[in-house]
Amino acid sequence: MEYLTILRRLARLLQDQCDKVAERQNEHVSARIIFAFLAKTRNTLRAIILLYQNNLEHEAQSQIRVIFELRVTFDAFISLLQKDIRSACNRVLDAITLQKVKQARASDFLGLDLIPGAPTAETLEKNEAEIKAKYSDKEARALQINGFSGVSVEQRAIDAGLMQQYNIIYRNFSRNVHSADFMELFLANDISLRKEWYKSYIDIRNNAACDVAYESALGIATSVDTIFRLKMGRRIRAIIRAHEMLNRSIENQA
């Protein structure tokens, strides 16, 4: 699959960025949060590549959904960061706590007594109350449901200018996560359907999916390069040119 060559180059770029940004995590909480996004992007792109290499295309789609959500969530964090660094970081930490307490409460705080040094249920609920006191009831609930951005993935996609990708890829691949995309399952497992039109459909689907993986990872890599002044612009531009050449080649073959 031709697209994998581009994705591998991008994965190597992300690894080099991780190596550099890892050394700067202690500069500020925001740097640590950005590094977490970057490392998750690197790992998710690696997973996508490995799955395609092993002809696990359907499974790769679930990870492409992940990397797309990573991109729009990362963009939401950068947007908050540009407005107020302290507030943006506090929202991330507060949302993490609210969601963890909600999760622990759902299991009736089961297992806390088995972990040495773990907070008690009372301590967790006290922390939760302190955080909620900083926000309105509506905003606290939004943080608890949607994370630090306070808005849905769809709204994050709108804010990032990626609504088309959301509608075409994210919505469709959501069915894969929930094992409900029976059309894909039927096509993948019915030998009688393996005809020329099927191959053409698969090629178009895979190219569109990999293109979203590419755009998602590249967007994060480009922002990280700017924020930390990593001076990887030449490599990024080279990957962009290779991607453009690949798309022209695919269009000529169509």
Q: List the chain domain ranges.
A: 3-253
Q: What does DSSP assign to residue 115?
A: S
With 60 as the cut, is the pLDDT of residue 194 above it? no
Binning pLDDT at 50, 70 and 90, where does residue 65 land? very high
Three-class secondary structure of residue 248 per DSSP: helix
With 90 as the cut, is the pLDDT of residue 205 above it? no
What whole-number distance in Å separates Cα of residue 14 and Cα of residue 21? 10
Phi, psi of 148 (to 5 degrees): -60, -30
Q: What is the mean pLDDT of residues 31-39?
A: 98
Q: 161 — alpha (psi -120 to 50), left (phi > 0) or beta?
A: left
With 80 as the cut, is the pLDDT of residue 106 above it? yes
Is the pTM here over 0.85, yes or no? yes
> Residues near 148 by Cβ (< 8 Å), separated by ≥ 6?
76, 77, 80, 88, 91, 92, 94, 95, 96
Q: Token pair for residue 107?
A: 């299991």
